[in-house]
Amino acid sequence: MDVEIAPGLFLPEADVVLEFIRSPGPGGQNVNKVASAVQLRFNTACERLDDWTRQRLATLAGRRLTKDGWIVIAAHRLRTQEGNRRDAYDRLAELLIAARERPKTRRPTRPTRGSKERRLEGKRQRTETKSMRRRPSDD
């Protein structure tokens, strides 16, 4: 069965592994007894990803990507296991949607005629100001 992590974005269940761990930080007795934090692992070798998306995903994941090609997302912001599970899936969905999006190609622009003229006029004014500071010549 596939896991739907975003509308229209399904991943094979075998490529998503959930592990429940104890949440770090303060929280009293509950934090020591309940495994409410979620560690989501996603295999980037998934057959549903094309090579370009896989490469971009590796770039965007950064240090969350292991040497084996798994993306590890730890979610422990919320108090409940279900809330942290949804948070982990949401963060994975954001990452995958960003990886599927192709960035715009940059087209180099040229300065306008007006901006060139303003720049040159400013240079002329600075030249004039500095020349007025000089000692008069002995002509």
- DSSP state at residue 78: S
For residue 8, is pLDDT > 80?
no
Whether the CB-CB separation of 92 and 99 falls below 8 Å is answered with: no
The CA distance from 59 to 20, in Å, is 27
Most confidently modeled range among 62-71, 72-81, 113-122:
113-122
Average pLDDT in the chain: 87
Full set of structural domains in the chain with CATH: 2-100 (3.30.160.20)
For residue 102, is pLDDT > 90?
no
Its pTM stands at 0.70
Q: Over the stretch 32-61, which tens digit does the pLDDT of each residue have? A: 788 889 999 998 888 888 888 889 988 999
For strand 2-6 and strand 70-75, is the pairing parallel, antiparallel, or unpaired?
unpaired
51-61 vs 81-100: helix axis angle to the nearest 10? 120
